Structure 1
């Protein structure tokens, strides 16, 4: 579909509360490859936002509640569908191995993005099916940002009444992160694991690292997974997905 023929929509984001103080936000007019989840976690002292979408529309303008309680943004990895809106946040955290200041994939044109990332699949010319008012798809630019805090394995995100352990689980990208709330067994997994075919053949992927990360993840006390794409699932499904990938 050409950019000129795209329908204009009044609201770009869709949001749903999934319980336990957590809201899931996504972009329904985006191709499934790039239709990532943004997670908002309410905290007593501060809120947590995990990933920031494509940056096609302003999170601050459409979802001001994300910014009401001094949010900490954790960018799980430096792909455009996870860091596009990161520039809107003052507190941005990512792993040192993730090049959020010079991300590799920067286009919403399918063939161009496939070449940039090393995707071996046919993609439509344009990876959105509608546009917010005033947005020109041909003018899309991913805005690089700098992390205000660099995260490492074993660090913690403290919201006052909730605490998330930072897990460095490379493979999909060198600096891929997950966040685990050990008290509830809640995992925010980014693109380390989701209920679909895992992308492990990108230019910056490493299959050996990926396998080691998944073996580590399998042994953790995870009860609920909120992934970077698609729906949430339980710990049993997590282990099924890992076993299928590893061939165990």
Structure 2
């Protein structure tokens, strides 16, 4: 069914404590409803992933902060980089930054446009036989779902394993967590044992057969995550969770993939 209603507001936000705010797009199907994480810092703020780009994320973030913002893409999939172009400081892993400069990745808001190889990966989400729009509203009159594209943009910097993002009073170490995609990363704050994991791990079916995914590489990432001393994990999708749940997710995936 095509989306016909006009959304009163495109984003919702929720404070989760410790200076962290979750932003999300309620009118987007959960499959591509990325968790967008805003972290307040003393000198600048951090934005982890940028959603679909259907509506202006920068305008929404401006309601939260007047400080400069560092936008980090945990990986290149379209539900995480749609508004990447809106921010002046843009960081992503060196493996995927060249592909962001000339964006040719798959991106669609309608299941009718999904190729068969991607549909085949989505059984865990109940989408394999789905058809129709992945949004249940439009951001404004005249918005054309079929014309949806992700804007190509050059990252202003690349990041990789061991790099640190400094907000003045908060510091986040970059972990390279490939498998879901070659340049997937997470950000870890040692002081609070908080991990922003992107799509390397979240509390839902982990996608490991997409174009660019690598199960053998992913296995090493999952084993690494299982051994991490974390207090809270804020994933790229679905609710946040603690270390005990992370171990359960890792063990379930390892049992499935061997």
TM above 0.5, yes or no, is: yes
Where on the TM-score scale, by shorter chain, does this alignment land: which range? over 0.9
**Is the alpha carbon distance of 1:119 and 1:93 closer, same or farther for their aligned partners in structure 2, counting shifts above 3 Å?**
farther
Paired position in structure 2 for 1:38: 36
In the TM superposition, 1:131-142 aligns within 5 A as 131-134=138-141, 135-142=143-150
Gaps of 5+ in 2: 122-127
Paired position in structure 2 for 1:10: 8
Q: Residue 133 of structure 2 is aligned with which of 126, 130, 134?
A: 126
Paired position in structure 2 for 1:104: 105
**Contact 1:105 1:117 survives alignment (8 Å):** no
**Is the alpha carbon distance of 1:106 and 1:219 closer, same or farther for their aligned partners in structure 2, counting shifts above 3 Å?**
same
Gaps of 5+ in 1: none
Aligned residues: 246
- TM-superposed deviation, 1:88: 0.5
- TM-superposed deviation, 1:122: 2.7
- TM-superposed deviation, 1:2: 2.3
In the TM superposition, 1:190-205 aligns within 5 A as 190-205=198-213
Paired position in structure 1 for 2:180: 172
In the TM superposition, 1:43-58 aligns within 5 A as 43-58=41-56
Paired position in structure 2 for 1:235: 243
In the alignment, the residues of structure 2 paired with residue 73 and residue 116 of structure 1 have an alpha-carbon distance, to the nearest angstrom, of: 31
**Is the alpha carbon distance of 1:212 and 1:74 closer, same or farther for their aligned partners in structure 2, counting shifts above 3 Å?**
same
> What value does the CA root-mean-square deviation take over the aligned residues?
1.6
Q: Residue 18 of structure 2 is aligned with which of 17, 20, 24?
A: 20
Higher mean alpha-carbon deviation, 26-35 vs 94-103, is at 94-103
